């Protein structure tokens, strides 16, 4: 099932022509209406009319999160506020918020983009979609809400939090699809289990999870516990919100909505494009956004593009799961470490629950890493010897895979914090 097959299944050549036309229109618009871009293009000695092919785009400078902050709140808007019908913002963990805006047309495009993702993950007008993302300045709640309404589903805008109520609603209202962060889905699944609610009392069939990184292992667990088909979907407020890319039922990479977004993958150190299929930083240029166009936005998300051709028939390029963020990289005694690498080691082990926390401290001049990980009850209450063996096994694997030594602490099930929105799994005390 497709939502907009003419675009989702467009032949590559035709798609690239459309991208080029839309790119040129976008560049003209930002040059005329956004002083930041005009200055940046002028400094690079490039005028919009110099961009005659998609590869010419590489001549233009990148845009980064700091550029958004420096232009807080409305400096990068390309239309007057009277044209703007919606404003969202991301709080971020540092500095001031970044503010984004949408025209009426942008909201329409956004709804269709999200509509495509819901459709490709199995949902339709018969579905009852429970949206457990926060409604507010975060783009997750409203973004999914409008997309779900667009496809004609029955939408339950429950928002995030109050897990017992989520479950009551899910059961009583017969929700067939759950929309949330993967970590919240996991918490909901575990709570259902703890409450002893039989799976047969729920009508759930699909889960649409995004907003944060998760692993294949987590997908398997959520699918199994909730008895659903779970797909991954990706987006970021700076370029729209959810709806940038999503998985079809093949569950093998996320299709970009390429008629609306032009994607590049670059080496974050050299800024040159990576070889096809290599991992690098995702860079996105919006092709249709009116209020808040973005040119070559450095997402800081790491991924790789997958080879063309998906059995679902969509031609939109796919990317592999986001494997980390450039700004999440920890430098431990000079070694670059991504939390996702530690997660991968943990999840290889039998008896490990998908909950962990990485704590980094500095003792004198030394960085110290402690990995706290929940283990199944049988291990936690087992003899010391088995626990010790497990700790040593994890330490060895971390040393072998990542080249760092880490302290490993096994903790009891449910002792680490749970999250109703995006999970925070790294606590870096060195910055404090």
Tell me which residues touch ligand DLL (CB under 6 A).
90, 133, 138-140, 210-213, 232-237, 241-242, 299, 301, 322, 325
The nearest distance, CB 330 to ligand DLL, in angstroms, is: 16
Q: In this structure, are residues 288 and 22 in contact, taking their beta carbons and an 8 Å threshold?
A: yes
Q: Which residue has the tokens 């704590």?
A: 359
Q: What are phi and psi of 395, to 5 degrees?
A: -60, -40
Q: In this structure, are residues 302 and 279 in contact, taking their beta carbons and an 8 Å threshold?
A: yes
Nearest CB to ligand DLL, comparing residues 238 and 353:
238
Nearest CB to ligand DLL, comparing residues 31 and 261:
261
Nearest CB to ligand DLL, comparing residues 346 and 406:
346
CA 112 to chain centroid, in Å, comes to 18
The nearest distance, CB 163 to ligand DLL, in angstroms, is: 18
Strand order in the sheet with 366-375: 407-411, 366-375, 352-363, 426-428
**CA angle (34 as vertex; 28, 36 as ends), nearest 5:** 115
83: tokens are 């044209």
Nearest CB to ligand DLL, comparing residues 48 and 242:
242
281: left (phi over 0), alpha (psi -120 to 50) or beta: beta
Q: In this structure, are residues 156 and 177 in contact, taking their beta carbons and an 8 Å threshold?
A: no
Q: Which residue has the tokens 């001549």?
A: 59
Nearest CB to ligand DLL, comparing residues 232 and 353:
232
Nearest CB to ligand DLL, comparing residues 211 and 316:
211
The nearest distance, CB 79 to ligand DLL, in angstroms, is: 21
Cα separation, 144 vs 180, in Å, equals: 10
The nearest distance, CB 238 to ligand DLL, in angstroms, is: 6
């Amino acid at each position: 099932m497709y939502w907009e097959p003419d675009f989702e299944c467009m032949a590559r050549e035709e798609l690239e022509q459309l991208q080029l036309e839309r790119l040129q229109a976008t560049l003209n618009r930002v040059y005329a209406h956004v002083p930041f871009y005009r200055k940046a293009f002028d400094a690079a000695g490039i005028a919009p009319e110099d961009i005659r092919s998609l590869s010419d785009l590489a001549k233009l400078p990148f845009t980064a999160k700091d550029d958004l902050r420096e232009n807080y709140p409305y400096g990068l808007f390309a239309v007057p506020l009277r044209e703007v019908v919606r404003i969202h913002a991301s709080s971020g963990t540092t500095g001031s918020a970044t503010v984004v805006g949408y025209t009426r047309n942008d909201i329409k495009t956004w709804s269709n983009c999200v509509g495509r993702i819901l459709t490709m993950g199995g949902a339709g007008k018969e579905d009852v979609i429970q949206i457990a993302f926060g409604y507010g300045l975060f783009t997750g709640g409203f973004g999914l809400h409008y997309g779900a309404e667009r496809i004609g589903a029955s939408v339950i805008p429950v928002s995030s939090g109050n897990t017992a109520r989520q479950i009551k609603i899910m059961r009583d209202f017969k929700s067939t699809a759950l929309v949330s962060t993967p970590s919240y889905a996991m918490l909901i699944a575990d709570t259902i289990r703890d409450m002893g609610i039989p799976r047969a009392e729920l009508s759930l069939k699909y889960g649409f999870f995004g907003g944060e990184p998760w692993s294949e292992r987590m997908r398997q667990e959520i699918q199994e516990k909730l008895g659903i088909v779970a797909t991954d979907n990706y987006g970021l407020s700076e370029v729209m919100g959810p709806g940038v890319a999503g998985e079809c039922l093949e569950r093998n990479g996320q299709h970009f909505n390429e008629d609306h977004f032009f994607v590049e993958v670059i080496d974050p150190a050299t800024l040159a494009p990576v070889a096809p299929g290599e991992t690098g930083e995702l860079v996105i240029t919006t092709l249709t956004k009116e209020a808040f166009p973005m040119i070559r936005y450095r997402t800081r998300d790491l991924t790789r593009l997958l080879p063309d051709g998906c059995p679902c028939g969509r031609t939109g390029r796919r990317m592999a799961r986001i494997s980390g963020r450039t700004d999440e990289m920890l430098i431990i005694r000079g070694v670059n470490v991504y939390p996702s690498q530690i997660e991968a080691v943990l999840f290889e082990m039998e008896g490990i629950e998908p909950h962990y926390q990485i704590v980094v401290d500095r003792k004198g001049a030394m960085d110290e890493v402690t990995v706290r990980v929940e283990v199944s009850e049988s291990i936690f209450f087992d003899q010391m010897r088995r626990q010790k063996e497990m700790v040593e096994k994890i330490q060895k694997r971390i040393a072998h895979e990542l080249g760092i030594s880490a302290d490993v602490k096994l903790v009891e099930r449910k002792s680490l914090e749970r999250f109703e929105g995006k999970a925070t799994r790294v606590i870096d005390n060195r910055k404090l």
